[in-house]
Structure 1
Amino acid sequence: MERIQTAIDKARKAREGHSDPAAARAPAQVGKPKSASPVAEDREAKKPLVLSSDMSFKQRDEAWAALKRFDPKQVHLERNRIVAYQTGPEAVPYDVLRTRLLHQMRANNWRRVAVTSPTAGAGKTMTCVNLAFSLARAPDQRTMLIELDLRRPSMAALLGIEGNQQFSKALSGQDAPEDHILRYGRNLAFAVNQTTARNPSELLQGVTTGKVIDELEERYLPEIMMFDTPPLFASDDTMAFLDQVDCALLIGEAEKTTIEEIDKCEQELAARTNVLGVMLNKCRYLVSHEGYGEQHGY
């Protein structure tokens, strides 16, 4: 892990010292927002999340309570390696990630985070779901996890959700968002898709999608909105949506994702939003002090 981190740091320094300004665009550092569009600048200028009165709290609670409840089967979750719904040694890596994420996002007044990876198979969706469950174990922490990997949706199968949930219909303005959002407990909501969506890139960068996300934030007032977005190298879908978030978390796959891929992805993300961090997933070889599970690095 130290060799990987050293290589990443070396690549960053090389970019910073490059003579070509375009090639020297370094990843945005946490606490130093970097924007490339008016939309992103507006996101960064947004005021802290504040409820103005007791009535605001009541309205938020009523909105969450009105969402259809979802109770996953424990056997199904564990079969799919969803372990952070309860405390325990297996949940520790996600709890550590949760704490670090919350610390950085609160320090910068960020509420929206996109989770992506260079290529498919890095485990970003499983990481998103486990991280969401870990966040939900904080009683005062409301989290919404929204699936935007519209070409290969997998969250419904991972969670064991059946029915006609298709959040892409809400993004296109066909249906009300609450028709495609399920609530777990009192403070975690999932927006999933059962099937693929047509023209996902155009949908994600459309004006309607931005309005829907803004309305969700205004109505449900989640402390964290997490978006499971497609791999960066698979399509332009994630890049089309990045103006709508405050930061992005990059997931790499141990023994498969290369330093060059991580470096390139960091540059592309930094051109559109703030890079929250890089997490290495599926690590098989860790010394005892590096953690209890497979996730490491941030």
Structure 2
Amino acid sequence: MEHIKSALKKAGVTDGEGLEPAIAPPRSEKAFPLPVRKVETDESSNTPAKKPLRQVNIDLKHLERKRIVSKSMDDPNHIAFNLLRTRVRQAMADNKWKSLAITSPTPACGKTMVTLNLAFSLSRNPGLKTVVVDLDLRRPSIAPTLNIEPDRSIAQFLLGRADDPRDCFVQADPNLFLGLNSGHTPASSELLQSPKMLDLFNFVEKELSPEVILFDLPPMKSSDDALGFLPRVDTSLLVVASGTTTTKEVDECEIQISELDKLLGIVLNKCEDAQTEDYYY
């Protein structure tokens, strides 16, 4: 922890200490596998009956205002997310991991911004199909950040108010698919651990066939949602905000995730450079 605390001390964390964003060494243990269920088929063709996902056009200027810079790549800060992409992809490939959760100690650390920038950066690779799933059911941010109105929300599907999970997903790029949410769902922890989550996993795994799945989870200190869901994924990133997140908050969250053996690394966000960059990883 000493080398970690020394790095965030330079970044100006509120109590004068902090953590260095670092990718943790690979581990040999495997996560709980994504469950697979039988997919209903069309009897006439003996193939899964599918309807196309809704395709959406995203305003690049709107993305830049929201600091989603990995889509257009006009902002030089996109390089930081390319570097993060390379390190994350290498670690996941080395360990044959597919699912990555992204969370933070508290709100306003920028976890959704990091999730979307990483997703756009990953999906630019030919053949690297990427799926983002917004599982912050209490305060969903993917759809509002991208200015997309979902047909149905993942919360509605988990509550049994939407029959087809396809209605919760859109295609934003040839290699990028987004699972959207809207509104506020109080019983979020129970839903994230409900049997309907298995159906959602099965749809993502079998119908979308991604190489990488990113889950945008709620902040860890806001509820038990993230801790309850983390055992379902291969690994995770913890996003902390320079000048906002305290060392105590980082320590507590790091210990909790490490006890589950799910910590890939820590991302330091909102760290201002003396030159042009507003944040780095």
- What is the TM-score when the length of structure 2 is the normalising length? 0.81
1:254–1:208 distance in 2 versus 1, CA, 3 Å = same
Find 1:82's aligned residue among 68, 84, 87. 68
- Taking only the aligned residue pairs, the percentage that are identical comes to 35
Matches for 1:229-244 after TM superposition, within 5 Å: 229-244=217-232
The residue number in structure 2 matching 1:50 is none
Whole-Å Cα distance in 2 between the matches of residues 125 and 66 of structure 1? 26
Find 1:43's aligned residue among 17, 20, 33. 33
How much has 1:292 moved relative to structure 2? 4.6
Preserved contact between residue 93 and residue 293 of structure 1 (Cα < 8 Å): no
Amino acid at match of 1:135: L
Secondary structure of 1:43 counterpart: coil
Amino acid at match of 1:120: P
Whole-Å Cα distance in 1 between the matches of residues 222 and 167 of structure 2? 29
Matches for 1:68-147 after TM superposition, within 5 Å: 68-88=54-74, 89-147=76-134
The residue number in structure 1 matching 2:279 is 294
Matches for 1:165-204 after TM superposition, within 5 Å: 165-175=152-162, 176-204=164-192
How much has 1:86 moved relative to structure 2? 2.4
Amino acid at match of 2:279: E
Amino acid at match of 1:279: V
The residue number in structure 1 matching 2:26 is 31
Amino acid at match of 2:247: I
The residue number in structure 2 matching 1:263 is 251
Secondary structure of 1:193 counterpart: coil
Amino acid at match of 1:217: E
How much has 1:6 moved relative to structure 2? 3.8
Matches for 1:201-280 after TM superposition, within 5 Å: 201-280=189-268
Q: Deviation digits for residues 46-91 of structure 1, max 9, x if unmatched?
A: 9xxxxxxxxxxxx99x97x921101111221122111110234221
How much has 1:196 moved relative to structure 2? 1.4
Preserved contact between residue 150 and residue 168 of structure 1 (Cα < 8 Å): yes
Alignment RMSD: 2.7
How much has 1:34 moved relative to structure 2? 5.4
Q: Deviation digits for residues 217-243 of structure 1, max 9, x if unmatched?
A: 122110100000011001001111112
Whole-Å Cα distance in 1 between the matches of residues 240 and 68 of structure 2? 19
- What is the TM-score when the length of structure 1 is the normalising length? 0.77
How much has 1:294 moved relative to structure 2? 0.7
Whole-Å Cα distance in 2 between the matches of residues 202 and 241 of structure 1? 10
Preserved contact between residue 151 and residue 197 of structure 1 (Cα < 8 Å): yes
Secondary structure of 1:206 counterpart: coil
Gaps of 5+ in 2: 9-22, 36-46
Whole-Å Cα distance in 2 between the matches of residues 99 and 29 of structure 1? 14
How much has 1:180 moved relative to structure 2? 1.0
How much has 1:174 moved relative to structure 2? 3.4
Amino acid at match of 2:26: G
Preserved contact between residue 136 and residue 216 of structure 2 (Cα < 8 Å): yes
Secondary structure of 1:126 counterpart: helix
Whole-Å Cα distance in 2 between the matches of residues 268 and 281 of structure 1? 20
Amino acid at match of 1:31: P
Preserved contact between residue 114 and residue 227 of structure 1 (Cα < 8 Å): yes
Preserved contact between residue 134 and residue 142 of structure 2 (Cα < 8 Å): yes
Corresponding position: 1:152 with 2:139? yes
Preserved contact between residue 150 and residue 180 of structure 2 (Cα < 8 Å): no
Moved over 6 A (4+): none
Whole-Å Cα distance in 2 between the matches of residues 76 and 217 of structure 1? 30
Find 1:161's aligned residue among 148, 165, 168. 148
Corresponding position: 1:282 with 2:279? no
How much has 1:165 moved relative to structure 2? 3.5
Preserved contact between residue 151 and residue 167 of structure 2 (Cα < 8 Å): no
